């Protein structure tokens, strides 16, 4: 199997740069006329898969919305993963795991080993127990040609108090994360390939008013949540990422899912958004 970075590069070239979040929260289930139970979850999630997985480069189920239903919800998530991949989409599981040692390894085995029922192409992780805590995820991703997206600069209002904080060495936390990703992607970059270790950077972030701008070029992909209904635009992506915009995977959920249960409308929305994102070059 080719590396995740290569597969993602090819998928975005063939299918566009939109990542569709499959997030069955209660309000969306009610909006579709469904009950907030496992049956409603299953109908919602698999209808979205049927609509978007054949045309989207990446789908991103948010694990929490399945976990809240216990083992039966996880069983639905397993079907979402399997059927999305069968339709040709890469699956990025949004789990934001972050732990240490054997626990991190167990999470990595659960999500990045293709032998696992929840094995996916890539996951999201949190680096805030220290960058070394990510080693089990990195090593397992390399072993199985999977990908890891690391939280770097998120657009929630609480994020900057940690991500913009300056350490004793004078380096901002987010800069440290981005530098770490540059190192992880260096080998792929030397081969002219997109790296498999990406940054999560919000589609609506603002560069700091004081101090240098964050350097968002890491040699890997960027997951940019907040595009579309949450306010992010193509102009925002161009402003934030500049020359790195071609590596951006823009993520949107409600703008597509809110059109359901009309499968054709959801599929058309994916295609139209991909046409819009093509303007990034």
* Residues noted as catalytic: 96
Contact 75, 39 (CB under 8 A): no
Which residues 6+ apart lie within 8 Å of 203 measured at CB?
155, 224, 225, 226, 227, 230, 231, 232, 233, 236, 237, 240, 250, 251
The DSSP string of 14-66 is: HH-SEEEEE---HHHHHHTT--SSHHHHHHHHHHHHHHHTTT-SEEEEBTHHH
Residue 139: its H or E element: helix 135-144
Residue with tokens 């080993």: 113
As a whole number of angstroms, the distance between CA 217 and CA 111 comes to 26
CB 168 within 8 A of CB 26: no
Phi, psi of 149 (to 5 degrees): -110, 125
Q: How many CA atoms lie within 13 A of 207 on its CB side?
A: 13
């Amino acid at each position: 199997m080719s590396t995740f970075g290569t597969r993602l590069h090819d998928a975005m070239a063939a299918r566009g740069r939109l990542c569709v979040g499959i997030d069955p929260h209660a309000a969306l289930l009610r909006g579709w006329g469904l009950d907030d139970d496992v049956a409603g979850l299953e109908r919602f999630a698999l209808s979205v898969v049927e609509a978007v997985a054949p045309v989207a480069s990446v789908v991103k189920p948010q694990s929490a919305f399945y976990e809240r239903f216990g083992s039966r919800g996880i069983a639905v998530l397993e079907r979402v993963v399997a059927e999305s991949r069968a339709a040709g989409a890469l699956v990025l599981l949004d789990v934001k795991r972050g732990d240490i040692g054997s626990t991190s390894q167990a999470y990595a085995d659960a999500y990045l080993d293709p032998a696992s029922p929840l094995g996916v192409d890539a996951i999201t992780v949190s680096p805030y127990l220290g960058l070394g805590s990510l080693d089990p995820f990195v090593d397992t991703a390399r072993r199985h040609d999977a990908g890891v997206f690391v939280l770097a600069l998120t657009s929630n209002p609480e994020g900057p108090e940690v991500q913009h904080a300056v350490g004793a060495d004078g380096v901002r936390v987010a800069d440290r994360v981005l530098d770490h990703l540059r190192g992880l992607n260096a080998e792929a970059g030397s081969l002219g390939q997109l790296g498999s270790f990406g940054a999560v950077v919000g589609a609506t972030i603002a560069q700091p008013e004081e101090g240098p701008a964050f350097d968002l070029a890491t040699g890997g992909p960027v997951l940019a949540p907040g595009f579309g209904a949450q306010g992010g635009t193509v102009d925002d992506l161009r402003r934030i990422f500049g020359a790195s915009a071609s590596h951006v995977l823009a993520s949107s959920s409600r703008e597509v899912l809110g059109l359901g249960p009309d499968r054709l409308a959801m599929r058309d929305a994916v295609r139209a958004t991909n046409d819009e994102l093509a303007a990034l070059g």
